[in-house]
Chain A
Amino acid sequence: EAGVTQFPSHSVIEKGQTVTLRCDPISGHDNLYWYRRVMGKEIKFLLHFVKESKQDESGMPNNRFLAERTGGTYSTLKVQPAELEDSGVYFCASSKRIFMTAPIRTDTQYFGPGTRLTVL
């Protein structure tokens, strides 16, 4: 089974430019998550898709960030315009399904290798 893939692995851009990150989840995984790790800090939740719908986008820093998952397969995360504080490693993760029984249980979240974004 192929794992979660992300593209590009690295991106260096100047402040004010636009960058689009892509994530391909494991085939058949309905849940897709975006996380970000800023240097030396914790991995922070950004948002969660269930298929093509945004389930929770409470972690998105501001309206310069736009995530999409058209068709419920791969997802893109666009940063426009990029600022210095957007630098970090952006991880994508996917999981199979949510068990809709109380308490709600989810499958393991499998992480991609991350995209290291550097904004100069």
Chain B
Amino acid sequence: GENVEQHPSTLSVQEGDSAVIKCTYSDSASNYFPWYKQELGKRPQLIIDIRSNVGEKKDQRIAVTLNKTAKHFSLHITETQPEDSAVYFCAASIGNTDKLIFGTGTRLQVFP
């Protein structure tokens, strides 16, 4: 069946460094790729998303890249801050539907 693999499972960086989280998906018909951030005890919140007709999208310190040929997409956080510490989930739509398949999450820790 369809799946999304996410790496790494944990990531520790120094404040100010960059962080990169990578995901691969199996369904070549997937066309929507959101990223969610879940802080401890809070709900998952959308931080950025990308659709299959775009290769890159940026929003301040956050960017997402999509390689449809290789079926992978990545989250890039630059100039990390302690408040970026959270669990990040990538997701991909199942084919041409709005059903999402999620990765297993990446726990990011940013040390001051």
Judged by DSSP, the binding face of B is: strand
Q: Which residues of A contact B89 (CB under 8 A)?
A: 42-43
Interface Cβ pair total, 8 Å cutoff: 61
Interface size for A (C-beta < 8 A) is 28
Given contacts A31-B98, A48-B99, A109-B100, contact A103 B31 (CB under 8 A): yes
In contact, A113 and B43 (Cβ under 8 angstroms): yes
Selected from A4, A40, A104, A110, the residue in CB contact (under 8 A) with B97 is A104
Interface size for B (C-beta < 8 A) is 27
A41–B49 CA distance with the chains assembled, in angstroms: 22
In contact, B98 and A91 (Cβ under 8 angstroms): no
Selected from B31, B34, B97, B101, the residue in CB contact (under 8 A) with A108 is B34
In contact, B102 and A114 (Cβ under 8 angstroms): no
Q: Which residues of A contact B68 (CB under 8 A)?
A: none
Output the least CB separation between A44 and chain B (Å). Answer: 7
Q: Which residues of B contact A110 (CB under 8 A)?
A: 46
Q: Name the residue of chain A whose CB is nearest to the CB of B103.
A: A42
Output the least CB separation between A31 and chain B (Å). Answer: 7
In contact, A43 and B49 (Cβ under 8 angstroms): no
Q: Name the residue of chain A whose CB is nearest to the CB of B52.
A: A103
In contact, A108 and B46 (Cβ under 8 angstroms): yes
**A3, A48, A56, A103 pick with most chain B CB within 10 angstroms:** A103
Q: Which residues of A contact B44 (CB under 8 A)?
A: 43, 91, 111
In contact, B36 and A111 (Cβ under 8 angstroms): yes
In contact, A42 and B98 (Cβ under 8 angstroms): no
Q: Mark B43-78, 1 if CB is under 8 A from A, else 0.
A: 111100101100000000000000000000000000
Which A residues lie at the B interface, using CB under 8 A? 3-4, 31, 33, 35, 40-45, 48, 56, 91, 95, 98, 102-106, 108-114
Which B residues lie at the A interface, using CB under 8 A? 4, 6, 31-32, 34, 36, 42-46, 49, 51-52, 89, 91, 93, 96-105
